[in-house]
Chains A and B, each alone.
Chain A
Amino acid sequence: MLRFVVRRLLQVVPTLLLLSVLVFAWLRSLPGGPASAFLGDRATPERVAELNRVLGLDQPVWVQYLRFLGRAFTGDLGNSQITGEPVLSEIGRALPATVELSVAALLIAVTLGIPLGYLSARHRGRPLDVATVIGTLVGVAVPVFFLGYLLKAVFAVELGLFPPSGRQSVGIDATNVTGFAVLDGLLTRELDASWDALTHLVLPAVALATIPLAVIVRITRASVLDVLGSDFVRTANAKGLAPSTVRGRHVLRNALLPVSTTIGLQTGLLLAGAVLTEKVFVWGGIGTLLAQGIEQRDYPRLQALLLLGALVYVLVNLLVDLSYAIIDPRVRLS
């Protein structure tokens, strides 16, 4: 197991290096650039050229890349062209926000999705199943901006149950320990801050959860149906095992395999989905950094985000593969 992990981790280095070349080339081939983004409607050819010269963006791309690589090896991924702040400290501040949101969304998706998918499969073809299938399709197809707007209009504006956006109310003076707002409040005994953070978390987490929820329901349903039709379940039933034993030990355990794969996959996708959700709910996480970075062509920030994103993706996949080994005795890591 350990050897497997080490080998997989070693593979990460060349992958990231190759990726950094691709990311670098791709970003610089995009139309537009930080200079015109900074100047807006005051852009003139001379000013744009001047800013590019000052920022070193008039150099050949390979020179820029080598400079970037040199700095990156010393742990410096550069400063944001928008804020002038080191991108790593920006990311360090935004990451807890996104992780908090993604974890909350994933929790909602998993705790609702697996039971719904299971029930839907058990009651196949009945109204509950049909409603679930239609619901999941709608869940995938409804754009986040629309759903977010509706959620806010009903629960924040009309009912006043939750704050409409942001992570923290003005006037709440929370102490920052880990960056995870809910946790920080508990750690510092500022329970009002925790509660405030929690109420801010609900609506965006629900909005973000819809797509993974829909996917998890569908996969669970399909997978349970598969297992229900398999020989060993028929055998178990025939042998007279109690239905609850069959369901728990045979059906659910086997059906959860593909579901766990899906959850791993969805974790990666959540980060992509978070971009729109964060925009709608002004969440100020990684998605916000990314969207703003793309809009303003902030090269250093985008490079750092994409590379760190790739790193996370690789690590999550590794974790998923390890979890296979734990759930499924047939899988051996070699």
Chain B
Amino acid sequence: MTTTWTQRRKARIDDLAAGRSLGSEAWRRLRRDPVAISGAVLVGLFVIVAVLAPMLAPHPAAQSFPELQQDLRPGSIPGPRTGFPLGSDQLGRDFLSRMILAAQQTLLVGVLATLIGLAAGIVIGAVAGAFGGWADTVLMRVTDVLLSVPSLLLAVSIAALAARPSQTTVIIAVSIVSVPIFARLLRGSMLAQRESDHVVAATALGVRRRAVVLRHMLPNAIGPVIVQATLTLATSILDAAALSFLGLGDADPARAEWGLMLAQAQAYLDVRPALAVYPAVAIIAVALGFTLLGESLREALDPKGRR
């Protein structure tokens, strides 16, 4: 059933599509925006740590250390000591290394999920926006249905369908959630392009439809989609962490992942709250970084944002 609120949500996304492409004006505004700068710093830090994780992490994620295990008991987990600045986790592994290596997993899942969602969304949106007609109707019906389900619920259902949870199922589940948003966004902005002067001109000059779509419409319509991708990175990371937290994440507990670390720390809230606090703060900080960056990008591109 289409309901008014879904229509509203669609309308909001279509509104976004009206944003302008990245210009030097927007770039100048971004550089002076403290919100954008703090977002960029957070994201930059995270990306650097994630990319360099294998070099930064002193130890492998799965290795347990006899010197930590010596003092490891169910009711007492060794804290910081020389060689292990953040101490041990619940299995005698180096907590700092796991925190760092988890950044890489998180970035990997977040980026891959966003890229897959983006790619699928662009194809669907471009086809719908470029051709209109029944292709548009069918594709938009499907995205409407997906949009009407709360995103985490959708991701959970998809992940639960998999016979065996793995990193791949997490990426797929999280990416499917973002497909309808990208598709609708691109479609809206393509529709706006279809009526614009340069497209009308190109068509009038006899440029083939394929070329019009690929050379003229798509490049000009993609701006808002890129902005949305930044925001989607944040929600993808949160959704992936939530899936791990609910036990639908990566099957291999030897691999480090913030959501899973948080879930497993539940049993040690009294013993060593740091095991829960660090991953929780890391997830929040990264999601915050991408959101701040995305929101300020959006505002910078929005002509109404000038006050």
Contacts and interface: CB of A to CB of B under 8 A. Distances in A.
Contact flag (A, B; Cβ within 8 A): yes
Interface in A26-64: 30-31
Interface in A209-229: 226, 229
Contacts of A130: 35
Interface residues of B, number: 30
A190 interface: no
B259 to A, nearest CB: 9
B238 A141 contact: yes
B48 interface: no
Give the interface centre of A125, A133, A143 by most chain B CB atoms within 10 Å.
A143
Contact of A137 (B153, B163, B242, B291): B291
B238 A314 contact: no
B3 interface: yes
Contacts of B288: 134, 137-138, 141
Interface in B208-256: 238, 242, 245
Contacts of B242: 143
A137 B3 contact: no
Given A137-B291, A140-B238, A146-B280, A265 B5 contact: yes
Given A130-B35, A141-B283, A229-B304, A261 B291 contact: no
Interface string A278-308: 0000000000000000000000000000000
A125 B299 CA distance: 12
A79 interface: no
A130 B296 CA distance: 12
Contact of A331 (B4, B150, B307): B4
B287 A141 contact: yes
A210 to B, nearest CB: 13
B262 interface: yes
A15 B1 contact: yes
A281 to B, nearest CB: 15
A269 interface: yes
Give the interface centre of A125, A133, A141 by most chain B CB atoms within 10 Å.
A141
A272 B8 contact: no
B266 interface: yes
A143 B245 contact: yes
A16 B12 CA distance: 29
A78 B269 CA distance: 40
Contacts of A31: 163
A320 B5 contact: yes
B5 A272 contact: no
A258 B291 CA distance: 21
Contact of B3 (A15, A229, A320): A320
A140 B35 CA distance: 19
Given A134-B288, A141-B287, A143-B245, A149 B5 contact: no
Interface in B5-25: 5, 8-9, 12
A331 to B, nearest CB: 7
Given A314-B1, A317-B3, A137 B284 contact: yes
B150 A321 contact: no
List the 10 closest pairs (A to B, CB-CB), nearest first: A261-B5, A317-B3, A141-B284, A321-B4, A229-B304, A137-B288, A261-B8, A269-B150, A141-B287, A324-B4
Given A133-B295, A229-B307, A320-B4, 14 more contacts: A11-B1, A137-B288, A138-B284, A141-B287, A143-B245, A143-B262, A146-B262, A146-B269, A149-B269, A261-B4, A261-B5, A269-B150, A320-B3, A324-B4
29 contacts: A15-B1, A30-B160, A31-B163, A133-B292, A137-B284, A137-B287, A137-B288, A137-B291, A141-B238, A141-B280, A141-B283, A143-B245, A143-B280, A146-B262, A146-B276, A258-B8, A261-B8, A264-B5, A272-B150, A272-B153, A314-B1, A317-B3, A317-B4, A320-B4, A320-B5, A321-B3, A321-B5, A324-B4, A331-B4
Interface of B: 1, 3-5, 8-9, 12, 35, 150, 152-153, 160, 163, 238, 242, 245, 262, 266, 269, 276, 280, 283-284, 287-288, 291-292, 295, 304, 307
